[in-house]
């Protein structure tokens, strides 16, 4: 099954990169994505509304490129972004005070089990019901991303490791699909994820030291 949906002006070429057209949706997705991750690193709550705009744009790009699981993932992302926005606002002791913390062994078990089951199911579904040429990798990155967004919504330090793993797969995957700018964006994401891991670890240590002193 192939999907042929007119996506309008956003899918018109903004410029060409190495002879490959880069659409306005991909260009705007690059910009909002970089700002989004930078705000997450800084634990700025504005990352959530900007993230919603980013996933809508990238959803159009992935749909147009035949990455159906990634495209569908963006719809799920909108719900998760709204959930994360709410948790960051009201999940702590007061408004916008949710603390950074470690992932518990129970949370890890649930995340890994859901990730393995989700990857297997999506690989089968994409292989049978779509013309995807990369069903496993599309499914794997989809599930890793969902795991990472859940961890991000709870401010789990280890969510950065999941993002890093996903980005290492996304970079060559998008390059192979001629999404050169998006591939470059995920190199930026990878760098920001390393910075985010360091920043959230530092915040965790500072909080632990302050609690110990108290």
pLDDT, one tens digit per residue, over 114-148 is 999 999 999 999 899 888 888 899 899 989 988 99
Is the residue at 147 inside a domain?
Answer: yes
Asked if 170 and 70 count as a contact pair (C-beta separation under 8 A), the reply is no
Amino acid 142: pLDDT: 87
Position 177 scores a pLDDT of 81
Lowest mean pLDDT among 11-25, 175-189, 198-212: 11-25
Sign of CA pseudo-dihedral 203, 111, 64, 178: positive
Report the pLDDT value the prediction gives residue 93, as an integer from 0 to 100: 56
Residue 2 lies in a domain: no
Which two structure tokens, joined as six digits, stand for 26? Answer: 């991909």
Residue 143 lies in a domain: yes
Q: What is the DSSP string of the chain?
A: -------GGGGSEEEEETTEEEEHHHHHHHHHHHHHHHHHHTT-TTHHHHHHHHHHHHHHHHHHTT-HHHHHHHHHHHHHHHHHHHHHHHSSSSTT-PPPBPPPHHHHHHHHHHHHHHHHHHHHHHHHHS--S-HHHHHHHHHHHHHHHHHHHTTBTTHHHHHHHHHHHHHHHHHHTT-HHHHHHHHHHHHHHHHHHHHHHHHHHHHHHHHHH-
Between these two residues, 81 and 1, which has the higher pLDDT value?
81
Task: Give me the domain span that covers residue 117.
Answer: 8-97+104-213
- Asked if residue 194 belongs to a domain, the reply is yes
What pLDDT score was predicted for residue 65? 74
Q: How many CB atoms lie within 10 A of CB 211?
A: 8
In a domain, 22, yes or no: yes
Q: Residue 4 class from Cβ within 10 Å (0-12 exposed, 13-18 middle, 19+ buried)?
A: exposed
Of residues 58 and 47, more confidence is placed in: 47
pLDDT greater than 60 at residue 5: no
With bands split at pLDDT 50, 70 and 90, how would you rate the model's confidence at 16?
Answer: low
21-30, 38-47, 76-85, 102-111: range with lowest mean pLDDT: 21-30
Q: Is 173 a residue whose pLDDT tops 70?
A: yes
What pLDDT score does 34 carry?
A: 86
User: Does 27 have pLDDT greater than 50?
Assistant: yes
Q: Could you tell me which of 170, 175, 183 has the C-alpha nearest to residue 137?
A: 170
Q: Using N-to-C axis directions, what is the helix angle for 180-213 and 24-41, rounded to 10°?
A: 10
Tally the domains of the chain.
1
pLDDT average, residue stretch 60-77? 77
Q: What's the rounded Cα separation, in Å, for the pair 133 and 114?
A: 24
């Amino acid at each position: 099954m192939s999907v042929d949906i007119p996506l309008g002006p956003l899918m018109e070429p903004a410029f060409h990169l190495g002879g490959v057209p880069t659409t306005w949706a991909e260009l705007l997705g690059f910009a909002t994505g970089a700002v989004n991750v930078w705000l997450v690193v800084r634990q700025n709550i504005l990352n959530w509304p900007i993230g919603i705009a980013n996933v809508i744009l990238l959803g159009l790009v992935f749909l147009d490129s035949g990455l159906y699981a990634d495209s569908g993932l963006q719809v799920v992302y909108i719900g998760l972004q709204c959930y994360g926005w709410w948790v960051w606002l009201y999940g702590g002791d007061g408004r916008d005070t949710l603390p950074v913390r470690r992932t518990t062994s129970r949370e890890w078990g649930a995340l890994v089990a859901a990730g393995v089951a989700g990857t297997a199911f999506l690989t089968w579904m994409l292989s049978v019901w779509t013309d995807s040429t990369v069903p496993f990798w599309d499914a794997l990155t989809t599930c890793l991303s969902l795991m990472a967004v859940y961890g991000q919504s709870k401010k789990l330090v280890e969510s950065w490791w999941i993002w890093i793993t996903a980005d290492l797969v996304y970079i060559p995957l998008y390059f192979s699909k001629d999404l050169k700018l998006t591939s470059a964006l995920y190199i930026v994401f990878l760098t920001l994820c390393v910075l985010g891991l360091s920043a959230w670890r530092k915040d965790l240590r500072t909080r632990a030291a302050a609690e110990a002193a108290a």
